[in-house]
Chains A and B, each alone.
Chain A
Amino acid sequence: MDVVISGLLLGGAYALVAMGLNLQYGVARIMNLANGEILILGGLAAFWAFVSFGLSPLLTLVIVAPLAFIGSWAMYKLLLRPLVRRAKTRGQLEVDSILATFGISFFLVGVMVSLRAEYFTYSFLATPVHLLGTTVAANRLVAALIAAAIGGALYLWLNRSRPGMAVRAVAVSPEAAGLVGINVDRVSAFAFALGGAVTALGGCLISTFVTLDASSGVLFTMKALIIVIMGGVGDIRGAIIAALILGLVETAVASIIDPGLTLVAAYAIFLAVLLFRPQGLFGQGNA
């Protein structure tokens, strides 16, 4: 039971890391390598608000999410749309966007180093909660619950609402979506901005239990990439399930076999998915 609960909580944290990138890559087709830095920015904001004003990270995220939405919107409109317009094929857009966002990631690291070069570490809800016979940290539980709420809301919105359907249409085929009268450019910008908001919000929550610093974004980008590819590009359900699988497997290996083998286990399932289901657990054939 220990393993299942801890694993689900870790999976929830991973889902926070990956859902944003899934929207950005799946819908807007931008392989955003600055995703981790956006997450760290969210964490930095939570840290700064907590240390300077005693503001709870749960309040900070209400402020951070719209700011990250606007920031990501602007980033898409100003820096990435020219690439989208110019790209003749999807492959070319991928290469261009990888390079552009890679550059942006360095810029963001530089900005954050100048704001705070030390670790962002503080204590928030670092209290034990007894849950079904095991002990978990309250901050991890809160993060996992919010992850579940965001994931559920996104899933319902994408699958039950009209704008959500437009987003899914763009994810499947931007050309066809354009033909049926969907404003592909606007939907892409919206999905990209929404992805940024979810990621920054995840950063706020993760900073309550992981010690971040200006340079740790790349670790989260890598994790997000693995989860998105495992789950299937552009499928929010796939990202969440892949995140939970990763969390459960890592925790099970750490508890039952050896904590030293968690990374090995994570990459082993990643490899297995790539070998036997290269489009991801829920991916479309041509993704």
Chain B
Amino acid sequence: MNRRNFAIASAAVALSFAFSEAPQAQEPIKFGMVAHLSGPLAGGEAVTHLPNVQLWVEEVNGRGGLMVDGKRRPVEIVQYDDKTNPAEHIKAVQRLASQDEVDFMIAPYGTGFNIAAAPIYARYKYPLVAVTAITDEIHELTDKFPNMFFTLGSTSGFVEGVTNTLKTLQSKGVIGDKVAMVNVADAFGIELAGVAREKFKEAGFNIVYDKSYPLGTPDLSPVMKGAKAAAPDAFVAWSYPPDSFALTEQAIIEDLDVKAFYTAVATAFPAYGGKFGNAIEGNLGAGGVNPNTDAMKAYRKRHQDVTGKAPDYWASATYYSALQVLEQAIEGVGKVDREAVTEHIKNNAFETVIGTIRFDKHNNSERYWSVGQWRGGQFVAVADTGMGDSVAPVAKKGWK
């Protein structure tokens, strides 16, 4: 299917023009970005990454740009679409590095893409401040690619967050020990379910239903009927956006009577609250934020004002923070020098909208929220690692 590749490439080039900024008086600092403008991950990219890039460019250029070599230079984004295809992604990064000669790169969306792109980022010495990348291989990866940084936590950290949330609910007498668990059958779901199987058992939970379903399953009602038949106290799904929506809808249809209901990706999306309204009060999901800090409030307002949409309650703020890390490191060095910027990121602390980010010796920021809960129209963190500001989880009360 070589014609397909040609069509992809031409679409990508056409789309990339839409995003590049007009040149300004000072020569701009160029930031490369390979985005999933179409393909399976485009929906997530459009919620979590793209508006933040738009906001960040607007903020920085509103100040006149980044301060380097004693003068302000505007930032410019050079963007390509990869159709959510890893091979296209790598080609586009290559092109940004060798033909567009961008000065820096902005991290891609998705664990697999961050890991797949890491070697080529390393070859061109681009600092890679990854956000939407969750893995237990952080130490191995950063040993191999010392220019790579992690900000959103590890697989184990995530599962621990869920385990602790369930333990808290159990100790309050809200739930018993029976957990129904399902996962989407791809790398993300399989890895999380694998870790969860161990951690839930260690914590004394009894997994009464444990099934996977293929990506893109059009009807999840058999899964929900099966889970319901197992009469669980808690339901946990390691799911992707379309299935997070579908499982929640099926739980409402089947009136799944659990006091803890967890779906992974997309539970933190404003669209999730918008779709289900009050029915999802008390639902648990991946992410969560502390919406009450001044920095977070100001960020959420600016995001809404500039992009016309609300940020999600998880990686949006962290992604914006990663851009702030890059911005502060470039200004801290005062030069367009990628190796110096990487060193600067390793050795300094950064004030961001999610608070202070500092990387440990494995280039990992051990400060993240891991579980959120819908409470009165906001998705509030109820478990975290290193943040220390999440609130206690409460029981879910029915679907009405």
Contact = CB atoms under 8 A, between A and B. Distances in A.
Contact of A259 (B7, B223, B242, B245): B223
Nearest to A112: B38
Interface in A114-134: 114, 117-119, 121-123, 126-128
A119 B43 contact: yes
A281 to B, nearest CB: 21
A228 B158 CA distance: 44
Interface stretch (B112-120, B128-136, B208-216): B208-216
A127 B182 CA distance: 23
A91 B255 CA distance: 52
A211 B215 CA distance: 13
Nearest to B216: A219
A260 interface: yes
Given A123-B249, A251-B222, A259-B217, 14 more contacts: A109-B38, A110-B11, A110-B38, A127-B253, A135-B254, A136-B221, A210-B242, A255-B222, A259-B213, A259-B220, A260-B211, A260-B213, A260-B214, A262-B214
28 contacts: A2-B225, A6-B221, A6-B225, A9-B219, A10-B219, A13-B219, A106-B11, A110-B14, A113-B37, A113-B38, A114-B18, A117-B43, A118-B271, A119-B242, A119-B266, A126-B249, A128-B252, A128-B253, A128-B254, A210-B218, A213-B43, A215-B39, A216-B40, A254-B219, A259-B213, A259-B222, A259-B226, A260-B185
A253 to B, nearest CB: 9
B3 interface: yes
Contacts of A109: 11, 38
A258 interface: yes
A250 B214 CA distance: 12
Contacts of B226: 255, 259
Given A102-B7, A121-B245, A211-B246, A137 B50 contact: no
B241 interface: yes
B275 interface: yes
Interface string A241-268: 0000000001100110011101100000
Interface in A4-21: 6, 9-10, 13
Interface in A91-119: 99, 102-103, 106, 109-110, 113-114, 117-119
A136 B15 CA distance: 42
A260 B186 CA distance: 11
A110 B15 contact: yes
Contacts of A254: 213, 217, 219, 222-223
Contacts of A219: 216
A214 interface: yes
Nearest to B11: A106
A135 B221 CA distance: 9
Contact of B275 (A121, A251, A263): A121
B7 A113 contact: no
A9, A10, A123, A258 — which one has the most chain B CB atoms within 10 A of its CB? A123
Contacts of B249: 123, 126, 137, 209
Contacts of A2: 225
A122 B275 contact: yes
A277 B347 CA distance: 68
A5 B160 CA distance: 39
B212 A117 contact: no
Contacts of B182: 259
Grouping DSSP codes into helix (H, G, I), strand (E, B) and loop, the A interface class, with mixed when no group exceeds half, is: helix
B250 interface: yes
Contacts, number: 131
Interface string B30-56: 000000011110110111001000000
Contacts of A262: 213-214, 217
Nearest to A10: B219
B123 interface: no
A255 B43 contact: no
B276 interface: yes
Nearest to A258: B211
B364 interface: no
Contacts of A215: 38-40, 42-43, 83-84
Contacts of B225: 2, 6, 255
Nearest to B220: A259
A215 B294 CA distance: 37
B212 A260 contact: yes
Given A103-B7, A126-B253, A263-B214, A6 B222 contact: yes
B330 to A, nearest CB: 28
Contact of A135 (B3, B223, B253, B274): B253
Nearest to A255: B222
A136 B255 CA distance: 11
Contacts of A210: 218, 242, 246
A99 B217 CA distance: 28
Given A210-B242, A215-B38, A215-B40, A117 B15 contact: no
Nearest to A128: B253
A113 B16 CA distance: 13
Contacts of A99: 3
Nearest to B244: A211
B222 A211 contact: no
B42 A213 contact: yes
A237 B266 CA distance: 39
Interface string B178-217: 0000100100000000000000000000000001111011
Nearest to B213: A259
